[in-house]
Amino acid sequence: MSFWKPGTVGPGSVVDRDAGQDGETAIITYSDAQHSSLPLSEQRKRLPIYGHRREMLYMLEKYQVLILVGQTGSGKTTQIPQYLHEAGWTAGGRVVACTQPRRVAATTVAQRVADEMHVKLGMEVGYTIRFEDCTDPAGSTRIKYMTDGMLFREALTDPLLSKYSAIMVDEAHERSLHTDILLGVLKKILKKRPDLRLIVSSATLDAEAFAAFYCLDSTSADSFENAAILSVQGRMFPVDVHFLSEPVSDYLEATIQTVFDIHTKEPTGDILVFLTGREEIDHVVSEIRERATTLPSNKYADVLALPIHAGLTMTDQALVFEATGHGVRKVVVATNIAEASITIPGIRYVVDSGFVKIRAFNPETGMEVLTTTSISRSSAEQRAGRAGRIQEGKAYRLYTESSFLNDMQQASVPEIQRSNLTGLVLQLKALGIENVLRFDFMTSPPAEMMSKALELLYSLKALDGYGRLSIPLGMQLADFPLDPLLGKVLLESQTMGCSQEILTIAAMISVQNVFINAASAASEEQHRKFGVQEGDHITLLNVYDAFVHDGKKSGRWCANHLINFKTVSRALAIRSHLERHLVRVLSLEGPGELKSCLPGPGDRNRGSLERASAVIRKCLVSGYFCNAAMIAPDGTHWISAREAPASKKSSGLYMPTKLWMHPTSILFKLAPKWVIFHEVLETGGKAYMREVTVVEPQCRSCAAPAAALRTLQHSSGARQYSGGSLRASLLNPHAAVQSSGQRLRFNSTIASPVAAADAAALNAISLKVHNPQLDENGKKLTLDITDNAVKQLKHVAARDDNPLQALRITVDSGGCHGYQYLMGLTDTVNDDDVVFEKDGARVIVDTITLPMISGSRIDFIEELIGSAFKVLANPNAAHSCGCDTSFEIKI
């Protein structure tokens, strides 16, 4: 493995890394070091931002929005809130907020600022992250660091964020999901609060684009009347950037080799390594520590390898910021949090793997996958720049220059364009935004992804028929600091009698890496001591239960069972937080009212435990019904139970989503027919399910909302028919539905009848029907179009200046109950279409679809155009399980 520096010896040659002064150097400019030997007050004055203090305060007096471009290490994050505090912006009980995209940054920066101000963390200076509030309950906190998501949640209870005098949105260039939505919400608040000041801060961003976004009064695109731009330069140190001559097959091993090459050949200076996640970081840190013991101590300095990621405690995080003694080289192995969110002193060398782990949502499959992908060129420059803060540095990129120039994008795709937006849409609805598609986004998300989010929220029953948050479920779900799927499970748990168990499961899912070295044989052996054949969720419940009752919450017990003590301790704290939240949301007297399905330790037997397991799994299905998978016929993998769009299936290009069991799952060597999963991790070209639980088909059918159920095309209970004319009684549970040129499907065990309409009500509908149709008994086929649908459809036609604009309803094969209905806007009428017209509004249905929905009530919600819904069964033909099967199409 060899590196080369552009402008020197070409690829394929071994480069002398001590040479290179004659060649062209890639310069990344960053600020001078923090002079750690000086008093904190003197260190503050030496930061580049200090010279712009008066200018910044003047701009905030004159302008409502300040776009601050400050290079990493310039001191903007720690100093600006202090400047505002010193200038009186926190007088009268007001608060200055600074948001961060990551909780590690929020906690570490808050601690630094508290130290600089000589105050106790949690008093004048505090932080708020999910599941943790380190601020003064009495209200003395004046500077508050928080994740962007937490400030967004505060807007739910205080829409104008009235207690804040100034808000700083830091690291805006990362374009996290909550940063983008927060920028849009703040734009609305600024119009209502002229006294509020907003600072949008970043190491690199398109300043003019942000200023234009916040230009509230100006009519000229070139004039920023309400926004000012301030650029803060730091003192510059050059960074030599070296690329690999050839790609490597194992970048983790290449990382370790590069670290030791630097350690044995380069002058003093600490090393910063960028990897993708906790598992990689823990592996590399362990290997570096082990291999460092083989180096001769009389020849090389000691190596102190330290991790930094979101799963660490504040005490462990603080270790990377401490100065090392003489004769010790620090190696910090980090995620992309160290790109810009935090500044680690002493770094002179950077090793960049070139990868990052992100969540990516595929609207076609409806699945969000945790996947490893290449970083952008902008991120690569940010990473390299970390080596130039104290003196000239070097950056070693574990990829070729060709890959950098040709394969990497210039900038990362904003999260809002690649993420599951279900939680985001839920929060926007909670803010009272009726049509989320028209929200003022900095960058608009794809309409299909918004539509998928709305569809899922309807399936969760979080939205009512008019697109508003349902009461109480939707309002309660929006109030929970959890993913909507897990939040739904928790809210349903009290009704199902298993709140205590679901609280534990939710807390354990919210942390990572419960087992130490989960892939090792010893850890697997310990894992199976707690394992049950029902799957990972109940296994995690067993681990927590044993930790609390058998282990008495002790670290020694955890060490003996290879369980991460810090992880389960954090789960303990998260559970307490969720318990208080659930008690408040459900308006209970106290935690004692939360129900449990597990009998006491002395009353447990096989039967009672099996009954408890069934209740817990049914409750899990109530939220995770969409994360279901069925084993493939050959038993080698599972297939996602989410349906593909009709256009994809009909094109012949669609392949079902294949899923594999993650090796750390207790079910890894088993082959259950139906499972639900918490998330999907993509690695090595395969998608692996994590936190998996076995479910029975009847459990899935009963606990999941009927409108959201999915069934695989090859499921054993489904029969397909084709050919012939459309004729059969749809009220027959075992009817064979036939159609020339169409392939429809019934499930042989679950009926798909359409509700019979009340004749008197149908006669009262004032409809014009073009190309009317009769059923096989000679009755007219008709629809009940609501007044709201008429009003909304006429509004859409007027808005689009198209009087022919109509709503089209078509059918697609698929779904647990037989059909998947697709809705869209059109102005085209085909020969075999039936047009229903009411007071100037039109609904178009083809002759294949109409018999299946005749007599149905049609409503219209524009947000759901493009979404797919399942047919619900006749209320007179309820399932034996008693689940709700009323039929209504809401569009």
- What's the pLDDT tens digit per position in 680-711? 988 878 889 999 999 987 655 445 544 333 33
Which pair of tokens denotes residue 543?
């681990």
Query: What pLDDT is stored for residue 716 in this prediction?
Result: 29
What integer pLDDT is reported at residue 776 of this predicted model?
64
Q: Among residues of the chain, what percentage have pLDDT more than 90? A: 45
Tokens at 765, concatenated = 């509908």
Report, as an integer, the average pLDDT of 759-783: 60
Domain borders along the chain are 40-232, 238-416, 480-716, 759-890
Read off the pLDDT of each residue in 362-381 and give the average, rounded to a whole number: 87
Mean pLDDT of the chain: 79
**350 Cβ contact partners less than 8 Å away, ≥ 6 residues apart:** 239, 271, 272, 273, 274, 383, 384, 386, 387, 393, 394, 395, 396
Q: How many helices (H) and strands (E) does the chain have?
A: 27, 33
Nearest to 377 by CA among 28, 817, 866, 7: 28
Q: How would you list the strands of the sheet with 833-838, edge to edge? A: 768-770, 833-838, 841-846, 806-813, 819-826, 868-870
Summarised one tens digit per residue, pLDDT across range 800-829 is: 788 888 888 877 544 333 445 677 788 888
Higher pLDDT, 289 or 367: 289
- Residue-wise pLDDT for 732-766, tens only, equals 222 222 222 222 222 222 222 222 222 232 233 34
CA atoms within a 13 Å half-sphere pointing along the CA-CB vector of 624: 30
Q: What's phi and psi for 234, nearest 5 deg? A: -110, 165
| CA-wise closest residue to 334 among 356, 313, 315 | 356
For 40-232, which CATH class?
Answer: alpha beta
pLDDT at 32 over 80: no
Q: What would be the CATH architecture of the domain defined by 759-890?
A: Sandwich (2.60)
Look at residue 411 in the predicted model and tell me its pLDDT: 87
pLDDT surpasses 60 at 52:
yes
Separation CA 671–CA 678 (nearest Å):
18
Mean pLDDT value of segment 625-635: 89
Please check whether the two domains, 40-232 and 238-416, share a CATH topology: yes
Position 500 scores a pLDDT of: 97
Which CATH architecture does the domain made up of 238-416 adopt? 3-Layer(aba) Sandwich (3.40)
Q: Is residue 607 over pLDDT 90?
A: no
pTM of the full structure = 0.73
**pLDDT digit string (tens) for 503-546?**
999 999 999 889 887 667 787 888 888 999 999 999 999 999 99
Between the alpha carbon of residue 140 and those of residues 94, 144, 285, 299, the distances in Å are 10, 11, 40, 53
Instruction: Give the position of tokens 């929006």.
Output: 478
Task: Tally Cβ neighbours within 10 Å of residue 116.
Answer: 16
Q: Per-residue pLDDT for 215 more than 80?
A: no
The residue assigned the tokens 């909302």 is 705
Q: At a CB cut-off of 8 Å and minimum separation 6, what does 95 contact?
A: 141, 142, 143, 144, 163, 164, 165
- Predicted local confidence at residue 168, as pLDDT: 97
Q: What are phi and psi of 708, to 5 degrees?
A: -110, -5
- Mean pLDDT over 627-656 rounds to 66
pLDDT category of residue 715 using cuts at 50, 70 and 90: very low
- Predicted pLDDT at 432: 87
pLDDT category, 27, cuts 50, 70, 90?
very low
Write the DSSP string, 394-458.
EEEESS-HHHHHHTS-SSPPPGGGTS--HHHHHHHHHTT-S-GGGS--SSPPPHHHHHHHHHHHH
pLDDT of residue 720: 25
In contact, 284 and 332? CB cutoff 8 Å: no
Phi, psi of 63 (to 5 degrees): -115, 150
For residues 608 and 23, give the distance between their C-alpha atoms in angstroms, rounded to a whole number: 75
